[in-house]
């Protein structure tokens, strides 16, 4: 029972990746953009060096280097990455079990690999980089009628028309067909493996989640709305606070009509202490309080604040602070 409860709790992170339609649409757009980028690269920028030793490095770089760059950008653009960093800095991961940390890393990596895997798959299906990379390793003895004594230097030059004698150029058609077959077969095997992996993760998510579909959908909508409203409100708050500080320095502040309306409506913007910022920052595991769901750190902070239960908040948030505010 204890093991089942642990798995149920910590695989909630996995569900965050699959249950949001916005995430699926976003991942689809990333994949389409990657396909377009890869196709444009092959048409306008890919040029096999046709040199022994260089073909292999260039082909691998054409497949791997953009994929690595896409992966790192995906990691950096994921909000959960910085939530995990904040959790490590603020609370030393005291509230995060190993299973939960592994599941969270899974969701971060799961989103980040969409673009690089798409790049790799399309590269393999198109086959240009693969044929360039492995052309120099083709065994000339397997080609009927190919002159003996020809080494990797000659084989590496075959992808470039005119770089070898005319009587050897026609062998490239057979070599290219074989290498593209290998490349595309590898690509389709990778697609099948990824599809099976996603299917198994979806099954695992459905079996391990303690929440029903409707509540999961509500949780997703709540997080999306909270993020949107928080960012909009933070932008207005920061602008008003900046306006007050500028006015205190110059004696006046130049505001446009919208800023004046906001200032008239809200009057003032009080600074928020670091303790409260830290309380609503970091990784969050789904929790309930007396049977009532707490959908985020902000939701938890608001609940304890309304109850004026600061001691319970400090314990629950696991914060080390010099004083509450």
Distance of alpha carbon 257 from the chain centroid = 39
Is the CB of residue 288 less than 8 Å from the CB of residue 316? Answer: no
Nearest to 34 by CA among 108, 130, 113, 127: 113
The predicted pLDDT at position 196 comes to: 94
Is the CB of residue 113 less than 8 Å from the CB of residue 71? Answer: yes
Is the CB of residue 134 less than 8 Å from the CB of residue 179? Answer: yes
Distance of alpha carbon 85 from the chain centroid = 15
Extents of the domains making up the chain: 1-41, 46-208, 239-316
In the DSSP assignment, the letter for residue 141 is: G
Tell me which residue has tokens 């082909």.
59
The predicted pLDDT at position 305 comes to: 85
Nearest to 319 by CA among 93, 83, 91, 88: 91
The predicted pLDDT at position 26 comes to: 63
Between the alpha carbon of residue 264 and those of residues 195, 212, 254, the distances in Å are 55, 44, 14
The predicted pLDDT at position 322 comes to: 46
Tens of pLDDT, residue by residue over 270-311, are 888 888 888 888 777 778 888 888 888 899 888 888 877 766
> Cα separation of 267 and 271, whole Å?
14
The predicted pLDDT at position 140 comes to: 72
> Cα separation of 306 and 68, whole Å?
47
The predicted pLDDT at position 9 comes to: 42
CB proximity list for 171: less than 8 A, separation 6 or greater: 143, 145, 146, 158
Is the CB of residue 133 less than 8 Å from the CB of residue 56? Answer: yes
For residue 138, is it left (φ>0), alpha (ψ between -120 and 50) or beta?
A: beta
Tell me which residue has tokens 């902000």.
298
CB proximity list for 264: less than 8 A, separation 6 or greater: none
CB proximity list for 317: less than 8 A, separation 6 or greater: 279, 297, 300, 301
- pTM of full prediction above 0.85: no
Q: Phi and psi at residue 268, in whole multiples of 5°? A: -150, 160
> Cα separation of 149 and 128, whole Å?
27
Intervals of the chain under pLDDT 50: 1-21, 319-323
Is the CB of residue 285 less than 8 Å from the CB of residue 100? Answer: yes
The predicted pLDDT at position 149 comes to: 63
């Amino acid at each position: 029972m204890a093991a089942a409860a642990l798995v149920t709790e910590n695989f909630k992170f996995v569900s965050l990746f699959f249950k949001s339609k916005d995430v699926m649409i976003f991942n689809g757009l990333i994949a389409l953009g990657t396909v377009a980028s890869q196709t444009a690269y092959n048409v306008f920028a890919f040029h096999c060096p046709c040199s022994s030793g260089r073909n292999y490095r260039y082909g691998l770089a054409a497949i791997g280097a953009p994929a690595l760059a896409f992966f790192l950008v995906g990691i950096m653009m994921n909000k959960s990455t910085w939530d995990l960093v904040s959790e490590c800095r603020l609370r030393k991961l005291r509230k995060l079990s190993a299973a939960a940390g592994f599941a969270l890393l899974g969701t971060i990596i799961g989103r980040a690999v969409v673009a690089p895997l798409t790049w790799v798959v399309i590269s393999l299906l198109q086959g240009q980089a693969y044929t360039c990379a492995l052309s120099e390793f083709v065994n000339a003895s397997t080609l009927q009628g190919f002159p003996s004594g020809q080494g990797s230097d000659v084989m590496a030059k075959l992808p470039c028309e005119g770089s070898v004698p005319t009587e050897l150029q026609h062998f490239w058609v057979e070599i290219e067909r074989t290498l593209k077959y290998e490349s595309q077969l590898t690509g389709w095997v990778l697609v099948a493996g990824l599809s099976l992996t996603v299917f198994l993760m979806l099954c695992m998510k459905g079996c391990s989640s303690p929440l029903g579909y409707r509540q999961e959908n509500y949780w997703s909508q709540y997080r999306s709305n909270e993020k949107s409203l928080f960012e909009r409100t933070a932008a207005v708050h920061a602008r008003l606070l900046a306006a007050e500080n500028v006015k205190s320095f110059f004696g006046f502040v130049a505001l446009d009509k919208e800023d004046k309306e906001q200032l008239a409506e809200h009057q003032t913007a009080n600074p928020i202490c670091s303790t409260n910022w830290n309380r609503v920052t970091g990784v969050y595991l789904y929790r309930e309080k007396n049977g009532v769901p707490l959908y985020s750190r902000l939701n938890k902070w608001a609940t304890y604040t309304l109850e004026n239960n600061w001691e319970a908040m400090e314990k629950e948030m696991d914060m080390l602070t010099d004083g509450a505010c």
